[in-house]
């Protein structure tokens, strides 16, 4: 059973994520955090398999919280969930230690797959972002 910590300051988002994850028989939401400080307290207090982290929470910058999580538990996969367009934040999140990045709009369709992928040691970005990154890499090699 994959034990998940959901970190988001919006109750509606947390409830929606829990409903999506309830459909997956091999996943359970073991806890919730409303801000970065709570995330750090919860990862210090108990074991988690995956964190779903909104980087737009009040208080400390989400990317700073992500770096703290990565420093405290480098093997704990974090899926960053954001309302920001992928190109703006995804690369920064991945460089800060995220195992994956997802825009909230794609969460209903992709959340379960993304969690499984990062839980099993992979990285997750949307197909659209993967294509964009690949074309950027391609353009760098032709210059």
CA 8, 58, 95, 106 dihedral sign is: positive
The predicted pLDDT at position 3 comes to 98
The predicted pLDDT at position 60 comes to 87
Structural tokens at position 127: 């197909």
Closest CA to 73 of 90, 55, 51, 93: 51
Unique residue bearing structure tokens 């230690």? 97
- Residue 104, classed as helix, strand or coil, is helix
Q: What is the DSSP letter of 7?
A: E
Q: What is the pLDDT along the chain (143 residues), one digit of tens a residue?
A: 999 999 999 999 999 999 999 999 999 999 999 999 999 999 999 999 999 999 888 888 889 999 999 999 999 999 999 887 767 788 899 999 999 999 888 888 999 999 999 999 999 998 878 888 888 877 766 65
The predicted pLDDT at position 131 comes to 86
The predicted pLDDT at position 134 comes to 83
Closest CA to 23 of 79, 107, 82: 107
Structural tokens at position 11: 């109750």
Unique residue bearing structure tokens 């195992």? 99
């Amino acid at each position: 059973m994959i034990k998940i910590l959901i970190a988001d300051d919006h109750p509606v988002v947390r409830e929606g994520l829990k409903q999506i994850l309830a459909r997956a028989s091999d996943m359970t939401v073991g806890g919730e955090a409303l801000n970065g400080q709570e995330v750090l307290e919860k990862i210090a207090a108990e074991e988690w398999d995956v964190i779903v982290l909104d980087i737009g929470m009040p208080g400390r910058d989400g990317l700073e919280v992500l770096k703290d999580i990565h420093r405290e538990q480098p093997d704990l996969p974090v899926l960053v969930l954001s309302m920001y367009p992928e190109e703006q934040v995804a690369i920064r999140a991945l460089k800060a230690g995220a195992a994956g990045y997802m825009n909230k709009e794609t969460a209903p369709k992709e959340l379960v797959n993304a969690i499984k992928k990062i839980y099993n040691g992979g990285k997750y970005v949307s197909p659209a972002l993967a294509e964009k990154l690949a074309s950027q890499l391609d353009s760098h090699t032709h210059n």
